[in-house]
Amino acid sequence: MPGPHHARRRPLRILAVAAAVHVSLAVAAGATLAAGFPASETIFPATTRAWISISDFRGLQERFDASPYGQLIADPAMKSFIDHLREQVSKNGKQRLAKLGLTLEDLEKVPGGELAAGAIEIEGGRLATLVLVDTTGHEAEAKELVERISGRLLEQKAVKVTVPNAPPQLTVYELPADPNDVRSEGPARQRRVAFALASQALLVGDDALQVGQALSVLAQGRKDNLTTLEAYGAVKEQCASQVPATAAPIRWFVDPLKFAVAYRTSNPPREKRKGPDYVAILSRQGFDAIKGAGGVVVLGDGGHALRHHSLVYAPPLPGRDPDSVERFDLAARMLRFPNAASLTPPAWVPRDVSGWAAMQWDVKTAFESAESLVDDIVGDKGVFDDVIASLKEDPDGPQIDVEKDLVACLGQRISVITDHVDPIGTDCERLVIAMEAVDEASVAATIAKVMEADSDMQKIDINGQVAWELIDHSMALPKLEVETPGGAVPHVDHDEQDEAHRRRQRLREKDGKLLPHSTVTVAKGHLLIASHRDILERVLAAEEDPASLASSSDLKAVEAELGKFVTAGTSARGFGRDDKSIRPAYDMLRQGEMPKSKSLFAQLLNDMLGDGKPGTVREQRIDGSTLPEFELVRKYFGISGLAMESRSQGWYVVGLSLPRPPQQGQEEEQEVARRPAEPSNR
């Protein structure tokens, strides 16, 4: 079995394990020179749609080992789980890298400097993969790896092919067609692997032309490289200076829509899919104004366990005012997040919650911009207007003017509170969404009309505060259907063939699935939408200091650190207690119940990883039965925060994680009657 020293020689697997256990590393822009070749961004072409680089592989390994994440992995209590997870990650990694003849273990042994990978758009709009490794000081290991790659490809019945005018270092293999590559359109893809070993570099890819071109410019770089992109330049200018070159940063860049289009072209579905083409819709609706995103992430710098700096580059259209509503076209105009002088938790946010976040959003402009997007998604012009009109004119509906009675009465701030109750179970997680109401009385009157017109909502009283709760139909008695002579007697208020009625029913079923116990009220200057009644009761009962989150020492510590990188004026802020945030997922994973969780995150995960069949529960892919009790590893999880500034060129985001504060454990010991003993379905 691998011991601690052996584990330290497995940085890629350790990073993958850490991501599965706790954190996904954001990545970024900045440049350091490697010994074997110029910085990889000068070698990858301008048609690169996604790129990631570990500029100092060994330095990152050392920083990871010293971080709370590395300490978590090395804890003896985690050994059984980590061994199993490492085996699974390695297996999955082999499956993904097999087309290149590589394994995760291979990539851990050969880097002497930079390790970079990218997805390059090539002829036909497809993506080609290119991996570039600085092998300085590891030339012997690199030579052995090339021999292993050849051996693995030959085992897959690959045939070495000759490429005209190819440099002598370039080797190309062609593999048999994948029998599982059954596509709805077109023939199976040609499968090739190309690799080249230079004096201090290894290049591997699935397109011989791209590998050959990269090899030819290895010494001096290429003119049409990644750095020539305006978006990449903006990301680098903003983010590279935020971390020292000695911090072994991870850097990344992506052109989101172009990558999505090329990825879909490269990986067409095996079966034709029905429904909207969201990538095409976003492009048509002006979201291609986002030209790129990228950033940098570092471990163990400035007292931070982890810190990332990112920029979403979306400059205004030519000739447009960056502060104007018309900065973008069509639905993209809803990407309007004004900075606020201060973003702090309101006094009614309970002190002991797991997390809080707030964002400034121009809701009025978003509503005005939604028409073309909704119509495009539905595929029928005028649908949005019809829905809005029906809410006002339908005699069986709430008869409200959505824009005048609701949208115009809302402010620009949207807050989210997250928490959980004990004991941990499938329905233990809690959520409150709060939308600022500048005219609270009008919003309350409008919500009352909407709720009273909805037979699935019941009016309740919470300590004198009017609220509405979604009726739980999970225990409802089955309907008794009686056949009558001469045919069935209709007992429905709507024609089942009415498309509008069917659409409303689908929306209701979806809402009921996402928040099956939702409770709504208007109070404390906000429209409050809660996942459960008990969390809403806590919010309504919250008092001023010292009972509020705003007065907590850990929040103040995070805000002080964020203040070193952003101004007071921001458009989004977030705070989280990582141990409390991760505990529900940790314990559910340990119990093997994660796929059954009713949290929004779990349901989204089920949608992505499930078989798509209604009513089925996906199989949990990670065996968490060997995880230790959470209290044994709680000490490794600290506190985290995030801030976003809206700028003329896009949105600048800073996030950081701090080690667990010593006083945090003391505050938890003093905490009394924080949550109900049993999870509430109210």
State the DSSP string of 8-64: HT-HHHHHHHHHHHT-PPP--------SSSS-GGGTSBTTEEEEEEES-HHHHHHHH
- Counting Cα atoms < 13 Å in the Cβ hemisphere of 535 gives 30
Q: Which pLDDT tens digit goes with each residue over 129-156?
A: 999 999 999 999 999 999 999 999 998 8
Res 275: pLDDT: 81
Res 481: pLDDT: 45
Res 671: pLDDT: 44
Query: Which residues of 503-578 form beta strands (DSSP E)?
Result: 519-523, 526-530, 572-577
What band does 661 get if pLDDT is binned at 50, 70 and 90?
confident
Over residues 61-72, the mean pLDDT reads 94
Q: Which pLDDT tens digit goes with each residue over 378-421?
A: 999 999 999 999 999 999 899 999 999 999 999 999 999 999 99
pLDDT of 121 higher than 90:
yes
Asked if 173 contacts 159 with a C-beta cutoff of 8 angstroms, the reply is yes
* Maximum alpha-carbon separation in the chain: 88
pLDDT of 619 higher than 70:
yes
Q: Which pLDDT tens digit goes with each residue over 94-116?
A: 555 667 778 777 888 899 999 99
Kindly report the backbone phi and psi dihedral angles of residue 159, in degrees, each rounded to the nearest multiple of 5, phi listed first.
Answer: -120, 130
Res 615: pLDDT: 55
Q: Within the chain, how many helices (H) and strands (E) appear? A: 20, 20
Q: Which pLDDT tens digit goes with each residue over 189-223?
A: 778 999 999 989 999 999 999 999 999 999 999 99
Q: Which pLDDT tens digit goes with each residue over 509-557?
A: 545 456 788 999 999 999 999 999 999 999 999 876 567 999 999 999 9
pLDDT of 185 higher than 60:
no
Q: Which of 23-32, 407-416, 474-483 has the weakest average pLDDT?
A: 23-32
Asked if 528 contacts 437 with a C-beta cutoff of 8 angstroms, the reply is no
Q: Rounded to an integer, what distance in angstroms lies between the CA atom of residue 56 and that of residue 248?
A: 5
Over residues 235-252, the mean pLDDT reads 93
Res 423: pLDDT: 92
pLDDT of 331 higher than 90:
yes
Of residues 244 and 543, the one with the higher pLDDT is 244
Kindly report the backbone phi and psi dihedral angles of residue 667, in degrees, each rounded to the nearest multiple of 5, phi listed first.
Answer: -65, -35
Res 605: pLDDT: 58
Query: Which residues of 445-571 form beta strands (DSSP E)?
Result: 457-462, 465-470, 519-523, 526-530
CA distances 382 to 377, 379, 386, 403, 452, Å, are 12, 10, 6, 16, 27
Domain definitions of the chain by residue range: 4-266, 317-472+502-670
**Average pLDDT over the chain, rounded to whole?**
84
Res 616: pLDDT: 59
Over residues 361-372, the mean pLDDT reads 98
Q: What is the dihedral sign for C-alpha 491, 497, 501, 507?
A: positive
Percent of the residues in the chain that have a pLDDT greater than 70, as a whole number = 78
Q: Rounded to an integer, what distance in angstroms lies between the CA atom of residue 655 and that of residue 562?
A: 8
Over residues 474-491, the mean pLDDT reads 45
Q: Which of 158-162, 280-284, 342-346, 493-497 has the weakest average pLDDT?
A: 493-497
Res 107: pLDDT: 80
Q: Which pLDDT tens digit goes with each residue over 257-307?
A: 999 999 999 988 777 777 899 999 999 999 999 999 999 999 999 899 999
Q: Rounded to an integer, what distance in angstroms lies between the CA atom of residue 434 and that of residue 528?
A: 5
Q: Is 185 left (phi over 0), alpha (psi -120 to 50) or beta?
A: beta
CA distances 569 to 478, 558, 565, 573, 646, Å, are 55, 16, 12, 10, 9
What band does 491 get if pLDDT is binned at 50, 70 and 90?
very low
**CA R_g for the chain:** 27
What are the beta bridge partners of residue 47?
A: none
Structure-token pair, residue 14: 């350790």
pLDDT of 325 higher than 80:
yes
pLDDT of 33 higher than 70:
no
pTM: 0.85
Res 477: pLDDT: 45
pLDDT of 251 higher than 60:
yes
Helix axes 79-97, 11-21, angle to 10 degrees: 110
CA distances 616 to 516, 595, 600, Å, are 18, 10, 17
- Collapse the DSSP code of 522 into the 3-class scheme (helix H, G, I; strand E, B; otherwise coil) and give the result: strand
- For the chain, helix, strand, coil in percent to 5 are 40, 20, 40
Asked if 314 contacts 651 with a C-beta cutoff of 8 angstroms, the reply is yes
